[in-house]
Amino acid sequence: MRRNPNMKYYLQKTITINATQEAVWAVISEFNNVYTWAPSVDHSVALNDKYQSVGSGRVCHIKGFGTVEETVTQWHEGKGFEFVFEKLGPMARCICDFSIEKVGNQQSKLTVTFQYTLRFGIFGSLLHALVLKNKLAVSLGHTIEALKTRIETGKLLRPLKQTAQAA
């Protein structure tokens, strides 16, 4: 993901997963089911009737942050996607990118990039420096480790639920 000059803050984590690129894609492309593998997402539901494409959306309840609406802005079939959200805690806007790269017959590299801006002026900046920056880094690390476990073992963190789409 190319660095966006409008986003002041940047966080990136990469992990090697012992699975094919296709196997990684099979899990992450189920955009609305992030709660089945992401430890910080208690629940997620579809925001609209679009599926696996630009414009797909979901509503997530994130532990310690609240509820957020996320919308896909780029979709690269089999390779990755980008989504955006706004107004979560002190974050004003965030662009998140998931990218997969084949590194071997049964290995893939997943890179997750967060680019974001803050709100609340100096209070938001202070909160970022004291708490948010570290909390995001730790949470992202736990999230990609959980995703690796999900893909390599097939185990769901939470069971898949049959849910109605959000209104």
Residue 19 lies in a domain: yes
Number of domains in the chain: 1
pLDDT in tens, 36-66: 999 999 999 999 999 999 999 999 999 877 8
Among 31-40, 61-70, 115-124, whose mean pLDDT is lowest? 61-70
Residue 63 lies in a domain: yes
CATH of the domain at 113: 3.30.530.20
Tell me what the mean pLDDT of segment 137-142 comes to: 94
Evaluate if pTM is beyond 0.95: no
Cβ-Cβ contacts under 8 Å for 103 (sequence gap 6 or more): 16, 109
User: Residue 100 belongs to what domain range?
Assistant: 12-153
Task: Indicate whether 2 belongs to any domain.
Answer: no
Q: Are 107 and 18 in contact (CB under 8 A)?
A: yes
